[in-house]
Chains A and B, each alone.
Chain A
Amino acid sequence: MPETSVAKPHPRRMLAAWYLRSLDRSFISVFMTFGLVLLFALLLLRGGADDVESNLRKTRADVLALQPETVDDANNAMLDYQGANAAIVRFSGQWTDSPEYFASRSAEGYFAGQEVKTYLQQNAAAIQRLLQAADKPRCDWRLNYAAGYAMMLPHLSMLRSDARLLSVYARECAHQRDHTEAAHAIAAMHAIARHAERDPLLICGLVSIAIDGIADQTIESIVLWETPTSAADIESYRKSAGLYRKWHERALRTLECEKRFALYTLDGMVNESQLNGSASATAALGVPYYVGGAIFWYGADRRCCLKVMNDIIEETRAGKRTHDDTINARIEANQTGPAIFTTLLLPSLGRSSDAFARNQEQAIATDAALAWLLFRAKYNREPKSLEELAPEFLAAVPHGVFHDLPLRVRTDTSGFREKPPPLKTGTAPLSAAPLLPGIVRIYTVGKNGQDDQGLCANAGEELKPKPNANSEIEEDDTGFRVPPFKEREATR
């Protein structure tokens, strides 16, 4: 191509020929248009001056620092859980026919049947192993924190199944009037919940709440259907439940952890070094770092996420609960550019403290209800109010967590209906008639702050349709149902 070095103008004819062949340039035009969109977008967005590499190094170190200390095999409850789960014989039928389903229901005559006995005999070894595991104070799940949100957590579903099995065992023990062993099983369930939340991840905390919930439901169903009458039995249940569930300590721990994981994920998402083999959250998920063009808004998104998370954490540290309806406003207030990741993550994270608060309210209501039963056992009469339980059975009238209002008591003369199982062909709903008229409900007003008469839309009760059908506020009281009082015959 000798012409290239010759500095002379081209004939117009050549220019014309080149110009008319515009189809040849169309490929370049299309390619350049895509490129220019990115170029102009970068100039408009400006992003942030954050150093992605150093951010990732720091957040990775922060995340790895969360890893709990390792536990040797002899003291590690994890191996017992694994052994127990290997020995479990699963129920082969439908969920609505399983002992686990009936463990928290009225189940008239179900626990006297041979099917439950056979099921528990088959799982006797597993249950003993679970009780041993729960007795161990230390548990190391050996999770890979470097994987970030892509970390595998197979133990969580396993622990929930274990808690359900122990729930059946506790209910069966209570049916056999062995309340001490039933209380032992419930204490084991709470220990499993503590082992589940040994890692400070939100998902672990939520599973721990679920397991606590199974334990609380088991106590309630035992109190309703296999009611303990001796003070010693009731006291053993009360000890097993405990009041350890401090919502803001658990929420704070979880939020600190989630902040580190969120930033680690965001840094990993935009960092190209993961292509060179360094482990990162998104690399483990198989997401290329440049997907979605997240790099263009990385800086603004990261700063917004960090600021709002720090606000929530500080608020939680001060003992205040973050209202989830304020989170969107906080994001907007701290937004300096697109906040896509922040918007996806934070609203759900902000609600986590609600879950912990409700869990603590349940523990408070359970404890107050068991104190109520203790009063009955001791004085052979119904207390007039919760005030009458103080100071002998309660230090003072307990207050709810959401609104710091004292617990309420209501005698429900109409009883309650259990939610029927999903209909199978040819079967009718279980509870056609209301159960236990005269039941005593001990409850807090819940998050919505209004007295819903101790009812909760998400509990196992079937509620009457609300008079105001347009009302969007659901019943959300957290409570405990105590069976109607039956006077004991005087001992002679």
Chain B
Amino acid sequence: MNAASPAPESPALKPPAIVQKQAAPEGRVARWRRCRRELKLSAAGFDLQRILPLAGFLLSAFGAAVVPNATVQAVVPWMVAASVLLIAIYFGHILFFRLQCSLLEFCVIIAALGNLEGLLLTTPGIFSVGRDWVIVLAPLGVAWLFYGAVIGLVQAELCDRRGTFARLFHIAAGWLSTGAPALLALGAILWFGRNEKRVITPNLAVWAIPMLVAGALGIVLRFWIGRAASRAAKEISFQA
């Protein structure tokens, strides 16, 4: 792994169209459309559209789940698991082949991954949820950690934060911000349902506050860092 360093821009990859069009005046809508097209071309290698057919794949899986046919329903968990695995591979590829994280960052990511998967696979509940849920949830943890790390490292890069701890902070912030909606949703369920003791026992309800706080922190980070990163990205992309 290379140490974190500023990435020099490749003149060969700079879209010439932007330069050519600068001379001629154009309308705001036309400019916005052109820039979107340019952005799409610029993002070669990162193109998320490659995995967007996942949407159709997953929708088919959810559709199959309600079909009253045992054979069709048996395929559902494998379809969902394949989707999750594809997302994990996509972000793993970006993380390790495109973003070039440092050895320390790699160690932190692997440590977090090992802890999460270890926690998941040694939870007593894993024996009761059955194979189908394990094949979905285990890669989901991987996908989440890779997704969060990618978001964090991209934000660090765009905001020009190249210090070791700054990049680690962005990775952690990425995990927290991508997991924030789930933390908030679960925290809210625990909080509002805490009086239904048959469903949410008191020892379960105590997790409501930590989850809500973590979720709120994630949302704050999401907007705070996200806003700065967006601004930086726009400056880089749309500079004349």
Residues of A within 8 A of B (CB): 1, 3-21, 24-25, 27-29, 31-52, 270-272, 274-277, 283, 286, 288-290, 295-296, 298-299, 331-332, 335-340, 342-343
Contacts and interface: CB of A to CB of B under 8 A. Distances in A.
A46 B233 contact: no
A31 B97 contact: no
A13 B70 contact: no
Contact of B185 (A31, A37, A289): A37
A14 B46 contact: yes
Given A15-B157, A21-B48, A47-B128, A10 B7 contact: yes
Interface in B91-139: 93, 97-100, 119-120, 123-133, 136-137
A283 to B, nearest CB: 8
A30 B209 CA distance: 23
**Is chain A's interface secondary structure helix, strand, loop, or mixed overall?**
helix
A20 B43 CA distance: 10
B60 interface: no
Nearest to B39: A17
Interface stretch (B22-30, B163-171, B200-208): B200-208
A339 B178 CA distance: 31
B9 A42 contact: no
B79 interface: no
A13 B131 CA distance: 43
Contact of B124 (A3, A25, A48, A52): A48
The 7 closest A-B pairs by CB, nearest first: A47-B125, A36-B182, A16-B233, A24-B48, A17-B42, A49-B124, A18-B46
A43 B123 contact: yes
11 contacts: A10-B99, A17-B233, A32-B178, A35-B136, A35-B144, A42-B125, A43-B120, A47-B128, A48-B127, A295-B130, A336-B201
Interface string B147-186: 1000000110110000000000000000000110111011
Contacts of A18: 43, 46, 48, 154
B220 interface: no
Interface in B66-81: 68, 70, 73-74
Contacts of A51: 127
Given A13-B237, A295-B130, 11 more contacts: A12-B7, A13-B236, A17-B42, A18-B46, A21-B48, A36-B181, A36-B183, A38-B133, A48-B127, A50-B128, A52-B127
Contacts of B229: 19
A10 B150 CA distance: 13
A10 B124 contact: no
B197 to A, nearest CB: 7
A33 B181 contact: yes
B58 interface: yes
Nearest to A331: B198
Contact of B237 (A17, A27, A283): A17
B140 interface: yes
Nearest to A46: B125
Nearest to B98: A10
Nearest to A328: B198
B227 to A, nearest CB: 12
Contacts of B128: 47-50, 52, 270, 295, 298-299
B7 A11 contact: yes
Interface of B: 2, 5, 7-10, 13-14, 38-40, 42-46, 48-49, 51-52, 54-55, 58, 65, 68, 70, 73-74, 83-84, 87, 93, 97-100, 119-120, 123-133, 136-137, 140-141, 143-144, 147, 154-155, 157-158, 178-179, 181-183, 185-186, 197-201, 204, 207, 211, 229-230, 232-234, 236-237
Contacts of B119: 43
A335 B68 CA distance: 34
Nearest to A40: B186
B74 A16 contact: no
B132 A272 contact: yes
A8 B5 CA distance: 11
A338 B200 contact: yes
A277 B137 CA distance: 25
Contacts of B141: 39
Given A33-B185, A276-B74, A20 B233 contact: yes
Contacts of B97: 4-7
Contacts of B55: 27
Contact of B140 (A19, A21, A32, A46): A32
Given A32-B144, A35-B140, A39-B141, A27 B43 contact: no
A31 B8 CA distance: 35
A340 B198 contact: yes
Nearest to A24: B48
B236 A12 contact: yes
A42 B230 contact: no
A158 B234 CA distance: 77
Nearest to B199: A338
Contact of A12 (B157, B185, B201): B157
Name, among A6, A9, A283, the residue most crowded by chain B CB atoms within 10 Å (CB to CB).
Answer: A9
B74 A39 contact: no
Given A14-B46, A27-B54, A32-B140, A20 B39 contact: yes
Contacts of B158: 12, 15-16, 19
B222 to A, nearest CB: 10
A47 B40 CA distance: 45
A223 to B, nearest CB: 48
A17 B43 contact: yes
Contact of A36 (B14, B49, B154, B179): B179
A223 B132 CA distance: 65
B237 A36 contact: no
Contacts of B99: 9-10
A155 to B, nearest CB: 28
Given A19-B154, A29-B181, A32-B147, A299 B125 contact: yes
A275 B2 contact: no
Contacts of B46: 10, 14-15, 17-18
Nearest to A4: B97
A289 B211 CA distance: 29
B42 A13 contact: yes
Contact of A45 (B10, B93, B98, B125): B125
Contact of A11 (B10, B73, B129, B211): B10
